[in-house]
């Protein structure tokens, strides 16, 4: 529907532009002998036409945006239901079991799923309606970026539209979320399963985090599971636990072939999986009746366009010239593991907010030039470290300082503070810190070998200008405070193990 309207508007636009061009061609023979004064006047008129042309495009874009907002928004309908029910902002409605069952039966009539209404399902719905209201609000907002694409993919494979809710219980519609078991992305693919369905990864990208590619793979996998069991609830159980565990449950149940019959024999998590799916399907449909509004989405699908890159780029450079923040670049392009977008054949394309498309076109050549200027001047060893970063989560233990942690991971206190938006060097036991490393393992806390011990003999200086190491300091911090360089400090302190500075230790700074 949206595409058809867009095509109609664009065809109208092309017709208007074509008419203007033909009119100009017809008039061209009459203007071949104009004077220079007349030419300058026409040049001025051309400038006015360019301004009018830009205004014309803005009108079209704004019209399309308003149309898409009306088309995509359910807020008006939600507001009217909430107003009709007379809810205040803080009301948390509750209903009789019969009401939940009546609504589920209405959903069931339009679905190939068995959306059964039983005590377990009603219990989970009540839990979501009271304790997971914020979650429902958030995923309703996030759904505005993904659900149209989900529905398009599911329709292509002739699969139930309700399967879009599976991604809600898998990831909360977060494409970069990773489970403790290592499952990743909107559809939570394990590495091997993802690879089997064509989701590859390398140092820069992980296709399990690509929304469209992962959704296509999920459709193929779910279609295969449905083909095995000829039952969508059983396919959901197999998606969660694996076909092996479902087959074991069938055997232990004495050959039963429906989810509710084999449920007692499934892993504990899978016993709650289908009830969770039914509850999420219910809440996403009847959220207004429960006085829940969608949290405002950062992006809607109609606010996103695509640009293709002719070379590798660093997101920081794009940010510096267009104002499109690195955080938002990664949010719309979660496939990238770092802030570097590698060059690929065919061209690597990225998603960009429509609000930045004009700026991108204006600054594109400058973006490539600046990226080349900055990163070609970096020594190769530093460039590798900058572009092959991986993320590590460090949990603070008793007695650790930022200096100790920075030394362990071969980085600086300032970097750790910037990565974690810290205003102070104070730490709490158990605090989670995000560390970007170049892929090498952190230093092990073990006794040094004889070779290490012999190579780190260092005598504290007694002459020159000395500095006493304080908590949280490293060479980078000291160099910055003293107006010198890290290399100069290393030259003044030969043999110094700068990765293991001790509080109270003295080093020469001049």
pLDDT, tens digit (0-9, with 9 covering 90-100), for 42-62:
445 554 554 565 565 566 656
- 3: confidence class by pLDDT, cuts 50, 70, 90: very low
Cα 21 from Cα 286, distance rounded (Å)? 53
- Answer whether residue 486 shows pLDDT above 90: no
- pLDDT score recorded for residue 377: 58
Cα 261 from Cα 273, distance rounded (Å)? 14
- pLDDT score recorded for residue 33: 44
- Helices and strands, number each (H, E), in the chain: 23, 8
Helix, strand, or coil (residue 189): strand
- pLDDT score recorded for residue 17: 38
Q: What percent of the chain has pLDDT over 90?
A: 48
Mean pLDDT over the full length of the chain? 81
- 440: confidence class by pLDDT, cuts 50, 70, 90: very low
Average pLDDT estimate for 274-281 = 97
Q: Which of these ranges, 45-49, 222-226, 342-346, 349-353, has the smallest mean pLDDT?
A: 45-49
- pLDDT score recorded for residue 452: 40
Average pLDDT estimate for 107-135 = 94
Give the CA radius of gyration of the chain.
Answer: 30
Q: Where are the alpha helices (DSSP H) in 204-325?
A: 211-229, 232-241, 243-252, 259-262, 268-271, 273-285, 315-322
- Answer whether residue 507 shows pLDDT above 60: yes
- 128: confidence class by pLDDT, cuts 50, 70, 90: very high
Average pLDDT estimate for 100-128 = 94
Average pLDDT estimate for 379-396 = 61
Q: What percent of the chain has pLDDT over 70?
A: 77
- pLDDT score recorded for residue 296: 83
- Answer whether residue 410 shows pLDDT above 80: no
Average pLDDT estimate for 257-281 = 96
Higher-pLDDT residue of 497, 439: 497
- 207: confidence class by pLDDT, cuts 50, 70, 90: very high
- pLDDT score recorded for residue 448: 42
Average pLDDT estimate for 366-375 = 85
pLDDT in tens, 226-267: 999 999 999 999 999 999 999 999 999 999 999 999 999 999
- pLDDT score recorded for residue 26: 44
- pLDDT score recorded for residue 349: 93
Contact indicator for 377, 327 with CB cutoff of 8 Å? no
Which positions are annotated as active-site residues? 170
Taking residue 191's Cβ as centre, other Cβ atoms within 10 Å add up to 14
Cα 412 from Cα 88, distance rounded (Å)? 51
Q: Which of these ranges, 51-60, 159-168, 365-374, 380-389, has the smallest mean pLDDT?
A: 380-389
């Amino acid at each position: 529907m949206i595409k058809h309207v867009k095509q109609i508007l664009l065809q109208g636009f092309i017709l208007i532009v074509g008419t203007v061009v033909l009119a100009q061609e017809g008039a061209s023979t009459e203007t071949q002998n104009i004077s220079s004064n007349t030419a300058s006047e026409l040049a001025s008129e051309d400038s006015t036409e360019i301004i009018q042309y830009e205004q014309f495009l803005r009108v079209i874009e704004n019209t399309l945006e308003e149309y898409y907002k009306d088309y995509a928004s359910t807020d008006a309908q939600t507001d009217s239901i909430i107003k009709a029910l007379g809810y205040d902002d803080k009301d948390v409605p509750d209903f009789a079991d019969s009401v939940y069952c009546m609504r589920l039966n209405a959903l069931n009539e339009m679905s190939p799923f068995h959306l059964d209404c039983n005590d377990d399902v009603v219990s989970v719905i009540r839990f979501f309606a009271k304790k997971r209201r914020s979650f429902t609000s958030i995923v309703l907002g996030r759904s505005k970026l993904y659900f149209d694409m989900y529905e398009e993919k599911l329709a292509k494979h002739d699969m139930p539209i309700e399967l879009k809710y599976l991604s809600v219980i898998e990831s909360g519609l977060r494409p970069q979320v990773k489970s403790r078991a290592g499952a990743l992305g909107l559809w939570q693919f394990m590495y091997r399963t993802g690879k089997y369905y064509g989701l590859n990864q390398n140092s820069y990208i992980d296709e399990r985090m690509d929304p469209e590619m992962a959704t296509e793979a999920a459709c193929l996998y779910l279609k295969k599971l449905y083909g095995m069991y000829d039952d969508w609830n059983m396919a959901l159980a197999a998606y969660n636990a694996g076909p092996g565990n479902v087959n074991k449950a069938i055997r232990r149940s004495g050959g039963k072939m429906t989810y509710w019959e084999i449920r007692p024999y499934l892993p504990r998590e899978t016993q709650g999986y289908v009830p969770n799916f039914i509850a999420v399907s219910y809440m996403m449909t009847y959220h207004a009746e429960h006085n829940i509004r969608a949290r405002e989405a950062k992006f809607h699908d109609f606010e996103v366009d695509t640009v293709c890159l002719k070379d590798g780029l660093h997101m920081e450079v794009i940010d510096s010239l267009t104002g499109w923040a690195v955080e938002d670049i990664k949010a719309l392009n979660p496939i990238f593991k770092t802030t570097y977008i590698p060059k690929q054949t065919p061209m690597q394309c990225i998603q960009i907010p429509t609000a930045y498309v004009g700026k991108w076109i204006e600054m594109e050549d400058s973006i490539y030039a600046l990226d080349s200027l900055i990163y070609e001047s970096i020594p190769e060893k530093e460039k590798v470290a900058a572009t092959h970063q991986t993320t590590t989560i460090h949990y603070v233990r008793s007695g650790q300082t930022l200096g100790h942690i920075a030394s362990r991971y071969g980085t600086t206190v300032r970097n750790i503070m910037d990565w974690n938006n810290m205003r102070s060097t104070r730490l709490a036991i158990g605090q989670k810190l995000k560390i970007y490393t170049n892929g090498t393992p952190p230093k092990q806390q073990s006794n040094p070998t004889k070779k290490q011990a012999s190579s780190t003999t260092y005598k504290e200086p007694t002459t020159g200008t000395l500095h006493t190491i304080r908590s949280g300091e490293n060479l980078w911090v000291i160099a910055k405070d003293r107006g010198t360089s890290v290399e100069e400090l290393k030259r003044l302190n030969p043999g110094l193990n700068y990765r293991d500075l001790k509080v109270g230790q003295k080093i020469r700074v001049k």
